[in-house]
Structure 1
């Protein structure tokens, strides 16, 4: 039985990855940051199959302990302060968790289990003000937020540990990937959640920032398989994971509203509060290396992804509507 240690297991990617590895017969250890009210919604159905270890990316001693306890064959570092908007309001905390936290995790693995295979969750946001279209593994980075700058530090530390200590360390440069498990603070889930609420009469408007930003959106369930595939190769390397298509926020909105039979223009309000100080206008990935070397392919197209998320949020609020009807 292979053993895996995952950080950020209750997030979108961590939940899909842990579920994926459990089905493959792994013994999965989940690093859990101590909070007064732990949130397990994404892993509720298989929470008892996870082996929980308390720890924090900002505390090296706790990470050393986690590696000792788990004795992992594979380590997946997915934990981060991952909301771009928050990173401007909390740049130091973002740097400590999303940047230095990676170095802490790498060091814990180097000291306690140097033969473990290590995956770092990098991001297409590192490309920022893009130097070429599409973006590939060799494209220069130009981060445009504290979040992406911190991620870039973690990315290069992963490369350095690979080259300096001969560790099997990979970075997945993942373009935007969404699912019903995405947090409500992210624009995609904010859209589908509010669309469901409007359709069911629970809300009457959707406030958004830049509708013209273009992103390469895929399904998170597909992308965690790519993470696993990277650690099954003979040699460690970095890979771009994407769909090769780009769509605007406006397109996402149009598909979500039309799916429930509504005209988005009647409900969407642009709000300057949601504009980024420095915008990333266009992200489009070239995943040909991953397709060729990992034999990886996406399984969910853009429209199906939007529909999947809207369906989930409709089901989420349907019980609220039914309870209101019973009261009336």
Structure 2
């Protein structure tokens, strides 16, 4: 069982890449606003290359068993967005509540994040968190990349992509 595993290769329709790409495009002046759904949805996000190593270790295990690859931590979509923008030197301040909540650039006061109810999922689970203790005990696997490092890796990759597009 693999919990959310992210990298710069993640498709842009997934919320993590949607955030990192939008942050880079907003920083570059190529996009005005990032539209998101539930800011408070919490996920267990890990770094995909480490999960690939975990899958390899599962395949080397002498007997077939179920394992969970996760980080044992949850972070909200809001936290992911804040860190992504911060990585590019943009501090986000939140104003309003519910679907009227917006994220504004602390420096300019410009709205850079808005809520779009179209992105709310009717059957969404508010909290997803895994437990990798069995994988650690039997496979010696555990995540090494922190949430903050994961966001940084993804933002830097998208910032490089955007800079190349602008040339």
SS of equivalent residue, structure 1 residue 184 = coil
Q: How far did residue 294 of structure 1 move?
A: 0.6
Question: Is 1:313 aligned to 2:146, yes or no?
Answer: no
Tell me, which stretches of 5 or more residues in structure 2 are unaligned?
Answer: 93-102, 105-111
Aligned to 1:263: 91
Q: Any conservation in 1 of the 2:58–2:139 contact (CA below 8 Å)?
A: yes
Q: How does 1:207-218 map to 2 (within 5 A)?
A: 207-218=35-46
The alignment of Structure 1 onto Structure 2 pairs a total of residues equal to 150
1:276 to 91, 100, 121: 121
Alpha-carbon distance between aligned partners in 2 of 1:223 and 1:230, rounded to the nearest angstrom: 10
For residues 92-116 of structure 1, the C-alpha deviation after alignment (integer angstroms, 9 at most, x for no partner) is xxxxxxxxxxxxxxxxxxxxxxxxx
Alpha-carbon distance between aligned partners in 2 of 1:211 and 1:320, rounded to the nearest angstrom: 29
Q: How far did residue 233 of structure 1 move?
A: 1.1
Q: How far did residue 279 of structure 1 move?
A: 1.4
Question: Is 1:234 aligned to 2:62, yes or no?
Answer: yes
SS of equivalent residue, structure 2 residue 68 = strand
Question: Is 1:302 aligned to 2:147, yes or no?
Answer: yes
Q: How far did residue 321 of structure 1 move?
A: 2.1
Question: Is 1:222 aligned to 2:46, yes or no?
Answer: no
Q: How far did residue 263 of structure 1 move?
A: 2.9
Q: Which has the larger radius of gyration?
A: 1
1:289 to 110, 118, 134: 134
TM score, norm. by length of structure 2: 0.88
Alpha-carbon distance between aligned partners in 2 of 1:297 and 1:320, rounded to the nearest angstrom: 36
Tell me, which stretches of 5 or more residues in structure 1 are unaligned?
Answer: 1-172, 323-328
Aligned to 1:205: 33
2:78 to 250, 256, 261: 250
SS of equivalent residue, structure 2 residue 114 = strand
Q: How far did residue 261 of structure 1 move?
A: 1.2
Q: Which has the higher contact order (CA 8 A, sep 6+)?
A: 2
TM score, norm. by length of structure 1: 0.45
